[in-house]
Structure 1
Amino acid sequence: MGQIPKEICNAVALAGVGLDNNLLSGSIEDTFVKCGNLTQLVLVRNQIGGMIPEYLSELPLMILDIDSNNFTGAIPKSLWNSTNLMEFSAAHNLKEGTLITCGDWYIPSKLSKYFHQVNIPDFSFDQHHGIYDLSYNRLLGPIPVKLGSCLVVVDLLLGNNMLSGEIHVSLSRLMNLTTLDLSENFLSGGVPPQFGCSVKL
């Protein structure tokens, strides 16, 4: 209960933060801005709100999990250019009418390195990697074609949004994909036959 102490920003050597399943509120506007060694930030199932701050893209984050909070606004474009991020989850941010809008959720035309690392280090902090979870928000528009270039994606979870258009064949190129959830959207057309070659799906 309460807010994350602002003094935590002075912990410049901090490498991992796990504050999931509390009743934390407030925002993280500048909470971790000085934590230049932070690689894992897990804030799942709290009541933290406000915008997702731009400075997170400047941290060496490998895991960013802000599931089940009250974050609002667009996901910063700069976050897509993170060179270290391997797990990003921002699902279930719709409490009390809040939402993550996603006119800016696409990967920019200058292809980022997000999720493009082939060698995945073995974290003791989190054993599951390649998670891309933006389910239960209000994502609009088509599924970005360039998601098919994200080599290490294991779970692609985009269910319960307002996505439209067809399922692009590029997603069938995700050779490490084991779970694909596109349920409860406004997608049209068929499932590309190339998915039949997705041996891990």
Structure 2
Amino acid sequence: MTMEPIGTWHGVTTDELGCVTHLELQDNRLAGEIPPELGSLSSLVRLELTQNWLSGGIPAELGNLKNLFSLSLSINQLTGPIPAKLGGLSRLFTLYLGFNQLTGEIPPELGNLTNLNGLFLAHNDLTGHIPGSIGNLEGLEFLALQGNMLGGEVPPELGRLADLRHLSLANNRLTGRIPSTIGNLEKLLDLELEHNMLGGEIPPELGNLANLRSFSTRGNDFVGCIPAGLRTAALNDLAELGLSYCT
């Protein structure tokens, strides 16, 4: 065992008291399971384990890290459910769990993360509905749920995410119509809905999305016409559906 101070170890940062505040070990070929003992690092602000070979489940003990600002476990081989206890990380700003093999439903407790700016759960094997509690994350700018097996309807509560810039729900099993409340997202830049089972008419309220730069819809069953306000260069796939602008 090394006798060097912990703060000199690779990827480890400590404060003036010697408490670990940052553990940044991305792309280090780490294998095995995430040790639950990490949950005892009460001063930890950033846990970055992206792009390793980690397997097994996400330890529920990570929910004890009340000072955590950023949690990134993306691009590993993690399995099992997302622990509901992560919903207690009240200071969390970014939660990146994408590109794993996580299963089960999105815990509604994640709606308690009211300081969250980015939620990336894309490219897992998540099932069930998108919880309406996600609409409580009023500071959210980035929501990526694409590439899962999520079903049911798009919750209208997402229309409360007034700061949202990027919304990707593509490549799931979503049904029903696009909720008209999505038209409230006036800061939205990207709306990705392709390859679901959505249908019906595109709500005219989406014409309020003046900042929209891309709107991906192919692989659904929309009918009717394109709201006149959606005159953006990024609507080629709508044209492929044979839809014209509303008059």
**How big is each residue's C-alpha offset from its partner over 1:93-118, in whole Å with a ceiling of 9 and x where there is no partner?**
1xxxxx21123x2214xx9631x13x
Kindly name which structure, 1 or 2, has the bigger radius of gyration based on alpha carbons.
Answer: 2
Matching residue of 2:5:
none
**How big is each residue's C-alpha offset from its partner over 1:97-152, in whole Å with a ceiling of 9 and x where there is no partner?**
xx21123x2214xx9631x13xxxxxxxxxxx611111111111111111111111
Is 186-195 or 34-43 further displaced after alignment? 186-195
Matching residue of 1:5:
35
Query: Could you list the runs of 5+ residues in structure 2 that have no partner in the other structure?
Result: 1-30, 213-247
Normalised by the length of structure 2, the TM-score is 0.69
**2:136 corresponds to which letter in structure 1?**
K
Matching residue of 1:159:
170
The 2-side partners of 1:22 and 1:37 are apart by 24
Matching residue of 2:132:
107
User: CA contact under 8 A between 1:40 and 1:62: conserved in structure 2?
Assistant: yes
Corresponding residue SS for 1:48: strand
Taking structure 1 as reference, are residues 192 and 33 closer, same or farther at Cα in structure 2, changes over 3 Å only?
Answer: closer
User: CA contact under 8 A between 2:135 and 2:158: conserved in structure 1?
Assistant: no
Counterpart pick for 2:73 among 43, 52, 58: 43
Question: How far did 1:6 drift?
Answer: 2.9
Query: Could you list the runs of 5+ residues in structure 1 that have no partner in the other structure?
Result: 94-98, 118-128
Task: Establish whether residue 172 from structure 1 lines up as the match of residue 183 from structure 2.
Answer: yes
The 2-side partners of 1:167 and 1:33 are apart by 34
Greater share of strand residues, 1 or 2?
2
| Large movers: runs of 4+ above 3 Å | none
Pairwise CA RMSD: 1.7
Corresponding residue SS for 2:76: coil
Question: How far did 1:181 drift?
Answer: 0.2
**2:37 corresponds to which letter in structure 1?**
E
The 1-side partners of 2:60 and 2:143 are apart by 25
Task: Establish whether residue 193 from structure 1 lines up as the match of residue 204 from structure 2.
Answer: yes
Spell out the pairing of 1:28-67 with structure 2 (5 A cutoff). 28-59=58-89, 60-67=91-98
**1:106 corresponds to which letter in structure 2?**
P
Task: Establish whether residue 138 from structure 1 lines up as the match of residue 172 from structure 2.
Answer: no
**How big is each residue's C-alpha offset from its partner over 1:47-88, in whole Å with a ceiling of 9 and x where there is no partner?**
011111111011121111100111111111111122212211
Percent of aligned pairs sharing the same letter:
35
Question: How far did 1:3 drift?
Answer: 2.0
If asked which structure has higher relative contact order (CA below 8 Å, sep 6+), I would say 1
User: CA contact under 8 A between 1:29 and 1:51: conserved in structure 2?
Assistant: no
**1:107 corresponds to which letter in structure 2?**
G
Matching residue of 1:120:
none
The 2-side partners of 1:34 and 1:190 are apart by 45
Corresponding residue SS for 1:189: strand
User: CA contact under 8 A between 1:21 and 1:46: conserved in structure 2?
Assistant: yes
How many residue pairs get matched? 181
Matching residue of 2:44:
14
User: CA contact under 8 A between 1:158 and 1:182: conserved in structure 2?
Assistant: yes
Normalised by the length of structure 1, the TM-score is 0.84
Taking structure 1 as reference, are residues 134 and 68 closer, same or farther at Cα in structure 2, changes over 3 Å only?
Answer: same
